[in-house]
Structure 1
């Protein structure tokens, strides 16, 4: 019998080690873009600090939200990042835990809009993005959101598809420029001009190709995609419309009842720190929500950066997007996609 004791002891040791590793593992759900850069700038340094393991899950928003909902009774995701309106959808289903902001050392340095964007401390903003119009300055001049429907860009303009995050923001600003208070009315106007619009794009990479081929000379984009255009030989400009720029915010959330709250808060605290937010901004990955971040002039060109710009953004209430989205999609399908 004694000859089996070392084997049994080793097995028990391995089991204990596995249990300890599981207890010190944080599972995060994030956007799939720039993951190699995030690994080097955020994940690996944090693992060294915490002595823990990060399990990183990626996917589109629908897939990631569905997983959080499917495992609500026994969460397999501890912390996630997503758009504010997607986070609010989870909050309404009581799938998110309140965040103890006293454990976030940089909380007071966040822009006010990022401190409690969902209410109830159910999320905290970590990055902003502006949305405006990119255009060929040698071919057209853009001074208003209404210029997206002007004769000068007729047949050479693109708009985001209704399923994208950008679409509600663009429709809101276009409606303001046209004197229309109801987005449904603006969707009808887009439908009336649908034959003059080259495409309703799903991804910024698709749009970049069309603009570089000169099939499109003006289109709305998020600032996070601006580097695709700024780095080319063609004279692209970022518009500053008379009605202002719109934009949005991505937030960090913590799943309800995950049992790993302390480690999740430690990771959030690290990501929101001035050091890490500066590192990500200088790499051109995320625009900082931490107002203490200072970046080079070159890096700032690709970012939504600085109090003056961020405080001037017209940001749509995420509750409005959630409450109205189905009606917008239905009207879009009837009047734009025929």
Structure 2
């Protein structure tokens, strides 16, 4: 606690004046399901001790939390949520989220440029970015291309993200690129997945599903976001992160404020706490999140397990949110028609 309540944290959050008013308040947040033990230790419990409040954590994937925000639009339950850039833009278009006063986030200027108002609408702030590639068993198979996911020796041993997930469209895009078509309609890769549909163990919706499947040797390879990599590294057998010849794509996860929700000031304090150098460093060292805070410094060993550093941040090619949104219905229609559920 002393580290988290260091002079940086105390000066940054200015919670002393707000702690009394925060007492007996409950902050309800909606987050991804993975690494919740680590988030509890590094983020939730320390903040609760500072603010004198309670935190209720709801989990689910990005699409699920967006749907719940829409269902509860008239009487919001969630004060703060994390989601993909594209889903944040969708929430903005549906008038589900409020403007964020970035001047109240004392850690905002510490963020990489890609994390600062990434959708350029004043309604989200990035807290972690990630590369997307393929986790695989090098003792079972060699991965040199995204197209290797379709090769015969992986039939019945590979998982692929559902098109509705954050990893689905980027993985399909890279597969299409490997097949000679980098068009935004994703027709070529969806057709390829459909042709090999029976060769996939599952079209997963949560990355947490994959560690167990690989542990049980039901799969040998799967496209994943780098944020999920830590779960694959301690399983007692070799697992590697592929560097396909076509390259890697990635994504950015953001924080948003639910429009009309209670305790938005408390939610802003929580967001600022999460973006602090102390907290982002601890999350990085625990291999939970790649830091959006550019002041975070970690060892080479840790960095090798993350999407880390200014050079990486500057070079990461993100699919624009408007492309994701404007093409998503067509992608889903193709997927449902050709791949099925």
Larger Rg: 1
Offset at residue 215 of structure 1 (A): 4.3
Structure 1: stretches of 5+ with no match in the other structure: 1-18
Given that residues 22 and 52 in structure 2 are in contact (C-alpha distance below 8 angstroms), is that contact kept between their aligned partners in structure 1? no
Q: Which residue of 2 aligns with 1:321?
A: 324
Are the structure 2 counterparts of residues 334 and 42 from structure 1 closer, same or farther at C-alpha, using a change threshold of 3 Å? same
Normalization by structure 1: what TM-score?
0.84
Structural mapping, 1:40-79, within 5 Å: 40-79=41-80
- Number of residue pairs the alignment of both structures matches: 320
Aligned equivalents of 1:107, 1:230: Cα separation in 2: 32
Matched, 1:233 2:236: yes
SS in structure 2 at match of 1:226: helix
Aligned equivalents of 2:40, 2:316: Cα separation in 1: 30
Offset at residue 154 of structure 1 (A): 4.2
Greater shift in the superposed pair: 250-259 or 71-80: 71-80
Are the structure 2 counterparts of residues 49 and 202 from structure 1 closer, same or farther at C-alpha, using a change threshold of 3 Å? closer
Normalization by structure 2: what TM-score?
0.83
Structural mapping, 1:78-93, within 5 Å: 78-93=79-94
Offset at residue 115 of structure 1 (A): 0.6
Query: Which structure has the highest helix share of the two?
Result: 1
Given that residues 224 and 302 in structure 1 are in contact (C-alpha distance below 8 angstroms), is that contact kept between their aligned partners in structure 2? no
Matched, 1:298 2:314: no
Q: Deviations over 1:234-276 (max 9, x none)?
A: 3322111122111111111012233533322222111101011
SS in structure 1 at match of 2:47: helix
Offset at residue 37 of structure 1 (A): 2.7
Structural mapping, 1:1-338, within 5 Å: 24-180=25-181, 181=183, 182-258=185-261, 260-337=263-340
Offset at residue 126 of structure 1 (A): 0.5
Offset at residue 167 of structure 1 (A): 1.1
Offset at residue 330 of structure 1 (A): 1.9
Given that residues 77 and 255 in structure 1 are in contact (C-alpha distance below 8 angstroms), is that contact kept between their aligned partners in structure 2? yes
Are the structure 2 counterparts of residues 256 and 206 from structure 1 closer, same or farther at C-alpha, using a change threshold of 3 Å? closer
Are the structure 2 counterparts of residues 75 and 274 from structure 1 closer, same or farther at C-alpha, using a change threshold of 3 Å? same
Aligned residues: CA RMSD: 2.6
